[in-house]
């Protein structure tokens, strides 16, 4: 920690502090050093020695604990984020990479053969090298799992409760707004580069607030590592760009987020990457594609957008792995509360964190989770290219995730009850929701999901104008191009996402009819939403 103050005078080899460490503990008004006038016996040559104000040797470490209290009265001008932690951060789960050239927590070998984590010396001269056994990471993950047995507890506490690399007596994780991190001297920088000193280097490579968020997401997804980035689309692009080489082949599905499909079919060919598009349930086409092509990656959503098709993640993963291909699932529509794609066999799970994860329609971000090996590769690409998560956005997502399980459970319930209601309504000709027995992959959804999500798609009995009238008659939901937030949102894909295509073209290529509606249910009361939808249907 850096302390810049005219009051901090250097000590001499023979000087002694005028007060103990205990005297420096802050009171409600902040920590104050004790000022002592020298006794008469200390007068030299008839002149009083100058007033000496000295902090105890461990004052900086104590201040790091209390720094968020009122420290202005002791002349502290700057507190460096790189040294907020009194001790090396405890492993509570998979750690994020801290520097551009390091994909794991800094480590070095100890004299006894053990591992040293966070080696080097902090600002107060205290050795940060703490020996831990080689499996400390695994044992800490087990400890976290033992303490927090539910997604609800993990959503609230993971990445924060058992240590977050920032020592503070605040309940919430602080926002570390800095573009760079400083080092005490060149040797400390070398220690950092050689993984003997735990810190950060540049804001594009890591941030303590973002790291806490990444660890929370890793805990929820049961992943070794997570990377948070600027958007879900950027997460997809970074993953494709780094993991699929020139000459590689991708398999994807015909129902997915349109911008992802555009990138796969329009941009990847420029990089020498080809793609095969199959129906989400067409396992035979997947098998033949794997046999006939050197497939690098299978990528799709589950459930898909906007028809909510479900992929048999376990079966697809087995087939792809047998042929040397990776599997990445976009689980945005499910959220980690409803589906654990990694546990089902996928190599990577991707989310647009803008949706259910952040959950408040106020931040755009994305993330990807998986093994340390794969995420480190993507992180290296990310560190070079950019697409950085702002620490203020990381804080907002941390806050949003604390209610993730509550929101998603409420949205699951509302969406299922509403789907069952609309299924019987004469003005609805088709309804698409994985929780209904008539859904083509209901048997898959029941097996691999614990809830079916908060989005329902359906088709109105009518044309483009009739569907517009229904949507315009709704009073509660917003007409907007997103989903998963606290507020209900409705859109007509023919207008919102496919308006540039003619009706026959979008129907033939993508199955998007003029009368399709995608309804994302928020956390409003079910009866209010029910009444609103029924009155809107009556008007058509």
> What is the mean pLDDT of the segment spanning 391-410?
97
Residue 444 has pLDDT above 80, yes or no: yes
Instruction: Give the pLDDT of residue 485.
Output: 97
12 in helix, strand or coil?
coil
| pLDDT-derived band at 269, boundaries 50, 70, 90 | very high
Does 92 score more than 70 pLDDT?
no
Mean pLDDT within 410-424: 98
With bands split at pLDDT 50, 70 and 90, how would you rate the model's confidence at 166? confident
Angstrom CA distances, 460 to 41, 342, 528, stand at 96, 36, 21
The reported pLDDT for the residue numbered 126 is 31
**Neighbouring-strand partners of residue 329:** 300, 349
Q: Which long-range contacts (CB under 8 A, 24 or more apart) does 106-109 make?
A: 106/192, 106/195, 106/196, 106/197, 106/198, 106/199, 107/195, 107/196, 108/194, 108/195, 108/196
Q: Choose between 312 and 125: higher pLDDT.
A: 312
Structure-block tokens of residue 375: 């995420």
Average pLDDT of span 406-416? 98
The better pLDDT of the pair 498, 118 is held by 498
Q: Is the pLDDT of residue 33 over 80?
A: no
Q: What is the rounded CA–CA span in Å between residue 151 and residue 339?
A: 11
Whether pLDDT at 42 is above 50? no
Give the β-pairing of 115-117 and 107-109.
antiparallel
Per-residue model confidence as pLDDT tens digits over 340-398? 999 999 999 999 999 999 999 999 999 999 999 999 999 999 999 999 999 999 999 99
pLDDT for residue 230 is more than 50: yes
CB 213 within 8 A of CB 228: yes
DSSP summary character for residue 428: E
Q: Give me Rg for the CA atoms of the chain.
A: 28
**Confidence label for 304 from pLDDT (cuts 50, 70 and 90):** very high
Residue 1's pLDDT band (cuts 50, 70, 90): very low
Question: What would the mean pLDDT of 90-100 be, rounded to a whole number?
Answer: 36
Per the CB < 8 A criterion, the answer to whether 413 and 421 are in contact is no
What is the pLDDT averaged over residues 124-150? Answer: 53
Q: ∠ CA 285-243-158 to the nearest 5 degrees?
A: 105
Q: How far apart are CA 534 and CA 540, in angstroms?
A: 10
- What are the angstrom distances between the C-alpha of 409 and each of 311, 334, 431? 22, 11, 21
Nearest alpha-carbon partner for 508 in 261, 302, 254, 310: 254
- The DSSP code for 111 is T
- Read off the pLDDT band of 139 (50, 70, 90): low
pLDDT band of 2, cuts 50, 70, 90:
very low
In whole numbers, what is the pLDDT of the chain averaged over residues?
81
Please state, in angstroms and rounded to a whole number, the distance separating the CA atoms of residues 190 and 466: 68
Q: How confident is the model at residue 457 (pLDDT cuts 50, 70, 90)?
A: very high
- Confidence label for 20 from pLDDT (cuts 50, 70 and 90): very low
Distance in angstroms (rounded) separating the CA atoms of residues 276 and 285: 9
Output 153 or 65, whichever has higher pLDDT.
Answer: 153
Contact 432, 439 (CB under 8 A): yes
Mean pLDDT, to the nearest integer, of 46-75?
41
Whether the pLDDT of residue 434 is over 70: the answer is yes
Query: Which pair of structure tokens corresponds to residue 394?
Result: 């990381």
């Amino acid at each position: 920690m850096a302390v810049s103050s005219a009051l901090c005078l250097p000590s001499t080899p023979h000087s002694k502090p005028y007060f103990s460490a205990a005297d420096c503990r802050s009171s409600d008004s902040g920590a104050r050093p004790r000022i002592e006038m020298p006794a008469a016996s200390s007068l030299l040559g008839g002149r009083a020695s100058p007033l000496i104000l000295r902090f105890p040797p461990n004052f900086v470490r104590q201040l790091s604990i209390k720094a968020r209290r009122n420290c202005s009265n002791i002349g502290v001008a700057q507190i460096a984020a790189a040294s907020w932690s009194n001790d090396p951060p405890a492993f509570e789960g998979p750690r994020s990479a801290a520097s551009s050239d390091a994909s794991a927590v800094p480590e070095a070998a100890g004299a006894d053969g053990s591992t040293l984590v966070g080696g080097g010396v902090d600002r107060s001269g205290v050795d940060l090298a703490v020996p831990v056994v080689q499996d400390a990471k695994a044992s800490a993950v087990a400890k976290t799992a033992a303490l927090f047995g539910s997604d609800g507890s993990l959503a609230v506490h993971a990445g924060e409760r058992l240590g977050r690399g920032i020592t503070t007596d605040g309940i919430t994780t602080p926002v570390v707004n800095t573009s760079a991190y400083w080092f005490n001297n060149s040797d400390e920088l070398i220690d950092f580069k050689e993984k003997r000193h735990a810190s950060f280097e540049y804001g594009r490579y890591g941030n303590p607030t973002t790291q806490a968020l990444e660890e929370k997401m890793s805990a929820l997804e049961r992943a070794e590592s997570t990377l948070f980035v600027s958007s879900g689309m950027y997460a997809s692009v970074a993953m494709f760009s780094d993991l699929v080489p020139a000459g590689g082949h991708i398999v994807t599905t015909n129902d997915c987020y349109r911008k992802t499909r555009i990138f796969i079919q329009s941009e990847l060919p420029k990089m020498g990457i080809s793609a095969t598009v199959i129906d989400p349930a067409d396992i035979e086409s997947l098998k033949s594609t794997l046999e006939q092509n050197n497939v690098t990656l299978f990528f799709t959503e589950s459930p898909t957008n906007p028809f909510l098709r479900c992929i048999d993640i376990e079966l697809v993963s087995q087939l792809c792995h047998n042929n040397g291909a990776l599997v990445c699932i976009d689980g945005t529509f499910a959220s980690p509360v409803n589906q654990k794609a990694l546990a089902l066999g996928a190599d990577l799970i991707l989310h647009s964190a803008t949706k259910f994860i952040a959950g408040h329609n106020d931040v755009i971000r994305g993330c990807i989770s998986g093994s340390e090996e794969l995420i480190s590769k993507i992180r290296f690409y990310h560190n070079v290219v950019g697409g950085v998560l702002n620490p203020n956005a990381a804080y907002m997502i941390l806050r949003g995730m604390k209610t993730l399980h509550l929101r998603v459970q409420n949205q699951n319930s509302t969406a299922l009850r509403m789907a069952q209601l609309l299924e019987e309504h004469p003005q609805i000709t088709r309804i698409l929701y994985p929780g209904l027995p008539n859904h083509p992959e209901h048997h898959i959804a029941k097996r691999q999901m614990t809830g079916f999500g908060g989005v329902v798609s359906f088709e109105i009995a009518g044309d483009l104008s009739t569907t517009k009238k229904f949507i315009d008659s709704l009073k509660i939901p917003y007409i907007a191009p997103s989903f998963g937030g606290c507020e209900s949102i409705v859109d007509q894909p023919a207008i919102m996402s496919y308006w540039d295509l003619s009706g026959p073209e979008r129907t033939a290529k993508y199955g998007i009819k003029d009368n399709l509606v995608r309804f994302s249910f928020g956390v409003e009361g079910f009866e209010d939403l029910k009444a609103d939808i029924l009155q809107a249907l009556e008007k058509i």
